[in-house]
Amino acid sequence: MKIEKAIDIVLRNVRIIDPLTDRDEVRDIHLVDGMIGKIASGLKGGASTRSVDLTGVVAAPGFLDMHVHLREPGFEHKETIETGCMAAAAGGFTGVCCMPNTNPAIDDESVIRLIQEKSRRALLGLVDVHPIGAVTIGRKGEHLAPMAEMAAAGAVAFTDDGDPVHDAELMRRALEYAGMFNRPVIQHAQDIPMTRGGVMNEGFCSTELGLPGMPAAAEDVMISRDILLAGYTGGQYHVAHMSTAGAVDLVRAAKVKGLRVTCEVTPHHFFLTDDAVRSFDTNTKMNPPLRTKFDVDAIREGLRDGTIDVIATDHAPHSFDEKQVEFQSAPFGIVGLETAIGLAVTELVYRGILSLDRLVRLFSVNPRRILHLPDVTITEGARANLTLFSPDQSWTVDPLRFHSLSRNTPFAGLTLRGKPFAVANNGVICWSD
């Protein structure tokens, strides 16, 4: 990874895909002092201009991963804000939203300030880190956290992710209260009594493996309840890491009704099924768990038909030793920032489920719209916020080359098509290895 100031660089022959300006064409982009100068063909620049030939590379508005666990403060042996930002940049993201299940939890302004300060020092401030605040104090599901204070400090949304907001009354009030600041409530949808002790999807695989299961219905009942509450309150509701066919149907129906309901899916939930757990590899243990082929097919259809708004990684780093235990003892979660583009291009673009234009919407346009962040476009005079990736390039996932502090991935050794090439943001450009 190489970082430099984007002072005077011409990106030659790059394919610009910018859904909001309806642009898909090969041009040169001149980056000048962190801004987009001219966009044209055959740009020369001046004597000091550096010129890089990017034939075959796509330039898109910077990707934003709205579901990342940066682990700092509290779990710096898994990830820090700095290493998380490096992983984001290496994976092609210019922005991330960090989840509040830190220690202390992100449940007041001071933790938000800490994260903002640290992220500005990481990678010369290249990666925008948008904190997501807790819905309840300490994520305990009892008392509403100070959302007004956190929203004013920069919290872009609220969630108790890692745990659901289980109490329906509290969820109702959270939707009402967060609505005053135009912030979505993001739900980790999981009925707790139905999933107690569960470590994988409940189904034929869990029956064979004898592992305690978490039924898909436990996710669906909570989303179903929450959609009713979103309708009743008028609040903005977003489903985190949606994993079941039933949930896709519920969100689709809610959208038809015109409710303010959106959702995200992770690459592992459109790529793997619970068959992967047969290895007892603890890197196939995540929450929500890997589901069945039926669910994966429904998610792909939801991606194709637009029901699913966002691809987010649920990047959840854990140290090597924490995962080197019995499957039932292992923590939930896998890292995702550095494999997301490869998995999405390989599995969605090359299988004809998403065009590159739609892919950019799911990684860049839609998450910003859900979070009410300014649109990012590739236009002359705009700040350069770019993700560059090579859709045709094949590469093999090697966790030892990750920039994340953790390597807990089930995708080691997998050959993917679609490789992050560089990211530019906040006056800095970072070239991937």
Partner 1 sequence: MPLKSRHLLGLHGMPREDIELILETAISFREVLDRPIKKVPPLQGKTIANMFFENSTRTRLSFELAERRLSADVLGFQTSGSSVSKGETLKDTARNIEAMKVDMVVMRHWAAGAPHYLSNVIDANVINAGDGAHEHPTQALLDLYTIHEKHGKIAGLHVCLVGDILHSRVARSNIYGLTALGAKVSVCGPATMIPHGIERLGVQVFHHLDEVIGNVDVLNVLRVQLERDAGRFFPSLREYHHSYGITKGRLEKAGKPITIMHPGPINRDVELSSDVADGEHSVILQQVLNGVAVRMAILYLLATGNQ
- Active site positions, annotated: 314
| 326 near partner 1, rule: CB under 8 A | yes
**Amino acid (one-letter) located at 48:** S
Among 168, 180, 192, 325, binds partner 1 (CB under 8 A): 325
Closest by Cα among 109, 97, 33, 29 to 69 = 97
Complex with partner 1: residue 46 or 210, whichever CB lies closer: 210
Question: CA–CA separation, 54 vs 291, rounded Å?
Answer: 39
Among 21, 324, 396, 415, binds partner 1 (CB under 8 A): 324
Residue with tokens 């009030």: 173
Complex with partner 1: residue 296 or 340, whichever CB lies closer: 296
Binding region for partner 1 (CB under 8 A) out of 12-20, 156-164, 197-205, 406-414: 197-205
168's tokens: 């329906």
DSSP three-state, residue 49: coil
Distances (CA, A) of 130 to 35, 118, 413: 21, 12, 32
**Helix, strand, coil share (%) of the chain residues, nearest 5:** 35, 25, 40
Strands 185-187 and 386-396: unpaired
| 204 near partner 1, rule: CB under 8 A | yes
- By CB under 8 A, the count of residues binding partner 1 is 20
Complex with partner 1: residue 56 or 215, whichever CB lies closer: 215
Among 124, 170, 209, 221, binds partner 1 (CB under 8 A): 209
| 21 near partner 1, rule: CB under 8 A | no
Binding region for partner 1 (CB under 8 A) out of 59-67, 158-166, 212-220, 362-370: 212-220
What is the DSSP annotation of 248-317? HHHHHHHHHTT-SEEEEE-HHHHH--GGGGGG--GGG--SSPP--HHHHHHHHHHHHHT---EE---B--
Q: Identify residues 42-61 at the interface with partner 1 (CB under 8 A).
A: none
Question: Backbone dihedral region of 426: left (phi > 0), alpha (psi from -120 to 50 degrees) or beta?
Answer: left
Min separation Cβ 224 and partner 1, Å? 20
Among 22, 321, 352, 374, binds partner 1 (CB under 8 A): 321
Min separation Cβ 200 and partner 1, Å? 10
Complex with partner 1: residue 125 or 212, whichever CB lies closer: 212
Q: Identify residues 260-319 at the interface with partner 1 (CB under 8 A).
A: 280
| 131 near partner 1, rule: CB under 8 A | no
- The DSSP H or E segment spanning 233 is helix 216-233
Residues that bind partner 1 (CB under 8 A): 202-204, 206-213, 215, 280, 321, 324-329
